[in-house]
A and B are shown apart, each in its own frame.
Chain A
């Protein structure tokens, strides 16, 4: 019987199997009367009789086999190969706000390298009083801070500019993760090297690059560098994963993920932006008139309903329904999220699960009752600056459809009477 529910949420066949159960659920909804005694209760089950695994069966545990579909997925046609590519966090299947490292999206420009703590060096040079080299052990001797921040790729939702394209929250909004970072403030390290040589800091920059072949060098204004940027070596309490920059990455709160340089090896204080490949040919946003915006660092307020959604359909029939979603803003804390069931005609204010933190994911819920009718589900976030997440039409009016990056539009899921959901665009 439980075989029925083991399918892949991304698979249509699995959904159809699930919908059989949904019909059964609909029949019993409200009545809540069993057809007969449940053997799972009346019969002694093997797990209630014998032994389970001993301790140390898995010295470092992985999710139980029943959760094997909660994994990162890529879209192969997006990139030329998988070493310079992207995959997506299964946000449709996660709850709360902290993203487990093992399923947090990956973006590499030359593959995820294996760099040991022993081989790790971090250089600070340029307009500093004293160019320095730190070992990994050195970094662990500076005063530490802990902060939770979201990291969103600038291209998240980028495939949706010209229309509804990818059918799943994982694919449309999964270039995001949210972790608790432990690290040293970049300010601490810059002050260690001394900034007197830089003179007036207001027009100075830092250039950060990684140890991998891509280097992924990016320029960041000194004001941001001294504000809240972290040089992080732990995430969610443990070492960073290789694919997220082990042993040390940059954390640039609220700003596009490309700036969060992994395998961080060099920080240079400069008198101008370097205008590297990643800040000219990429991560610049072409407007309708062919002119491109550059230095579009901040990720504007955005939200997404993670369930129900195309990969997470309603399988329980009518009655109580939890609409669950995520909201975030690179400008600060989320203050409110509204949910619409009718494609934006009317809105209800959702419940925020906890006090929102600045530049971190906020979980929201709309606890509602589903009557089995179709819904056009939307969420709309507001942040502490008063900014209201725009519609795709509003974005297109200003930017056209060729920006690739920074698409923070309101998303629509069409929930059909059977509970299946689809990515659609509405008028």
Chain B
């Protein structure tokens, strides 16, 4: 009973205090996030490098770390193992059938590499790498793509200077201009084509999983 009252009182006080802290709120729910909490969870890195911690790592340190943490899936040279993603190579393939989309051939921002390695890799043991290790691994991936030389050291200071090969390879969704105007209106209902032929069959390809009985 008294425990309940105590909780109710504290809750009441908290609401009262937060209500006066800001006029924008409407419900007085939640509590202020502490700086340590924001620092722990807000680790994203922006394309211009905002959010990067201080640190550095060179290609050879990265080679070693990559071999230890990454190579079992991505290959010693970042070329990819089996169905796991290739991180290197694929230059000049984007306009061909089955383009090979790697960090070097496709990724427009280096910040994405740092952010993803730091936040989500190694696969199955995320957020275990030090900032210096992430710089080193990022440097090694750049080296594997011939973007930097083997004596390169990546740091928070020179991060923004690295030019990604496919930085200009993207456009913002243009369907509203290139597709929607042409694909509106009354569709054909009768005699829409002269002949219809089957040109491809999925059963011939035969890659659909079958249930076991």
Interface centre among B27, B44, B82, B173 (most CB of A within 10 A): B44
Convert A225-248 into 0s and 1s, putting 1 for each residue whose CB lies closer than 8 angstroms to a CB of B.
000000000000000000000000
Is the pair B202, A164 in contact by a Cβ cutoff of 8 Å? yes
- In the assembled complex, which residues on chain B have CB atoms less than 8 Å from the CB atom of A270? 46
The verdict on B161 contacting chain A, using a C-beta distance below 8 Å, is: no
Q: How far is the CA of A14 from the CA of B213 in the complex (A)?
A: 9
Residue of A nearest to B172 (CB): A295
> Quick one: given A130-B32, A300-B175, A388-B187, are A167 and B203 in contact (CB under 8 Å)?
yes
- In the assembled complex, which residues on chain B have CB atoms less than 8 Å from the CB atom of A204? none
- In the assembled complex, which residues on chain A have CB atoms less than 8 Å from the CB atom of B107? 280-281
> Quick one: given A215-B119, A280-B108, are A291 and B171 in contact (CB under 8 Å)?
yes
Q: How far is the CA of A265 from the CA of B193 in the complex (A)?
A: 52
Q: Would you give the shortest CB distance from A121 to chain B, in whole angstroms?
A: 8
Residue of B nearest to A159 (CB): B207
Is the pair B24, A344 in contact by a Cβ cutoff of 8 Å? no
Q: How far is the CA of A165 from the CA of B205 in the complex (A)?
A: 7
| Range, interface on chain B | 35 or more
Is the pair B30, A292 in contact by a Cβ cutoff of 8 Å? no
Q: Which residues in chain A, 118-167, are within 8 Å of chain B measured between CB atoms?
A: 123-126, 129-135, 138, 141-142, 162-167
> Quick one: given A110-B126, A191-B24, A292-B170, are A69 and B44 in contact (CB under 8 Å)?
no
Q: How far is the CA of A291 from the CA of B169 in the complex (A)?
A: 5
Q: How far is the CA of A117 from the CA of B183 in the complex (A)?
A: 46
Q: Which residues in chain B, 10-52, are within 8 Å of chain A measured between CB atoms?
A: 21-22, 24-27, 29-33, 37-38, 41-42, 44-47
The verdict on B189 contacting chain A, using a C-beta distance below 8 Å, is: yes
Q: How far is the CA of A425 from the CA of B203 in the complex (A)?
A: 12
Q: How far is the CA of A81 from the CA of B127 in the complex (A)?
A: 21
Interface centre among A123, A167, A266, A427 (most CB of B within 10 A): A167
Residue of B nearest to A422 (CB): B203
The contact of B99 among A81, A135, A167, A290, by CB within 8 Å, is A290
| Interchain residue pairs A-B with the least CB separation, the first 5 | A194-B24, A290-B95, A290-B94, A343-B196, A80-B83
Contacts A192-B26, A281-B112, A402-B98 known; 8 new A-B pairs at CB < 8 A: A74-B209, A79-B83, A132-B31, A162-B97, A275-B46, A276-B116, A294-B170, A376-B196
B interface residues, Cβ below 8 angstroms from A: 21-22, 24-27, 29-33, 37-38, 41-42, 44-47, 73, 82-85, 94-95, 97-99, 101, 103, 106-109, 111-112, 115-116, 119-120, 123-124, 126-127, 169-175, 178-180, 183-185, 187-193, 195-203, 205, 207-211, 213
